[in-house]
Amino acid sequence: MPEVSMTVNGKPAKGQVEGRTLLVEFLRESLGLTGTHVGCDSSQCGACVVHVNGRAVKSCTMFAAEAEGAEVRTIESMAEPDGTLHPIQAAFQAHHGLQCGFCTPGMVMSAAALLAENPKPSEAEIREYLEGNICRCTGYHNIVKAILAASGQDVSAIAAE
């Protein structure tokens, strides 16, 4: 089996993979980074979103070999080493942007990618950006509020659902 090497959460990582090994499988099974979730295996739900070379990618649709030499960032890299939450994670907590938590890693990683591209997105822009992420619990309202709050915007203008 060929070996793949990449940088994951700032640390070198390598392992042997079959050609068909998905990035999500490599992260979870070879590296033990189980924060990236597998929800659908068909790129529909977004629970597996990670950053590859700074771009949000659904890791269930990318082969591990395609990440050769890449910089990969998972949900495990968001909080500080001392456990202090990233501002996006703190906003999800403060604004009740999660319930069961299954979609949360993908939502947080997608939100981070959005805010890197657009530091002050509108409610409509957030909703459009998250179209590839499914949450079966929250109805998205509080997720949108959390992302607005993480961007430093006032959330009081959003009507309660």
| Domain-terminating residue out of 19, 51, 75 | 75
Q: Which residue has the tokens 């790129």?
A: 43
Give the residue from 27, 47, 75 where a domain finishes: 75
pTM for this one? 0.93
The domain of 40 spans 3-75
Q: Which among 50, 75, 100 is the end of a domain?
A: 75
Are 73 and 9 in contact by the 8 Å Cβ rule? The answer is yes
Place of tokens 């993908």: 106
* pLDDT tens sequence across 8-46: 999 999 999 999 999 999 999 999 999 999 988 788 899
Same domain as 96, residue 42: no
How many structural domains does the chain have?
2
CATH number of 67's domain:
3.10.20.30
The H or E element that residue 93 is part of is helix 87-94
Cβ-based neighbours of 52, under 8 Å, separated by 6 or more:
23, 59, 62, 67, 70, 71, 72
My answer on whether 71 and 126 are in the same domain is no
